[in-house]
Chains A and B, each alone.
Chain A
Amino acid sequence: GIQVEQSPPDLILQEGANSTLRCNFSDSVNNLQWFHQNPWGQLINLFYIPSGTKQNGRLSATTVATERYSLLYISSSQTTDSGVYFCAKGGGATNKLIFGTGTLLAVQP
Chain B
Amino acid sequence: DGGITQSPKYLFRKEGQNVTLSCEQNLNHDAMYWYRQDPGQGLRLIYYSQIVNDFQKGDIAEGYSVSREKKESFPLTVTSAQKNPTAFYLCASSIVGTAYEQYFGPGTRLTVT
The chain A residues found within 8 Å of chain B, CB to CB, are: 4, 30-31, 33, 35, 40-43, 45, 48, 50, 86, 88, 90-97, 99-102
Contact = CB atoms under 8 A, between A and B. Distances in A.
A45 B101 contact: yes
B99 A50 contact: yes
A86 B42 contact: yes
B109 interface: yes
A33 B56 CA distance: 22
Nearest to B104: A43
A33 B103 CA distance: 10
Interface of B: 31, 33, 35, 37, 40-45, 48, 50, 56, 58, 88, 90, 92, 94, 96-104, 106-107, 109
A92 B98 contact: yes
Given A94-B48, A96-B58, A45 B103 contact: yes
B98 A41 contact: no
B100 to A, nearest CB: 6
A79 to B, nearest CB: 22
Given A31-B100, A100-B42, A95 B90 contact: no
Q: Top 3 nearest A-B pairs by Cβ distance?
A: A99-B42, A30-B99, A48-B101
Nearest to A99: B42
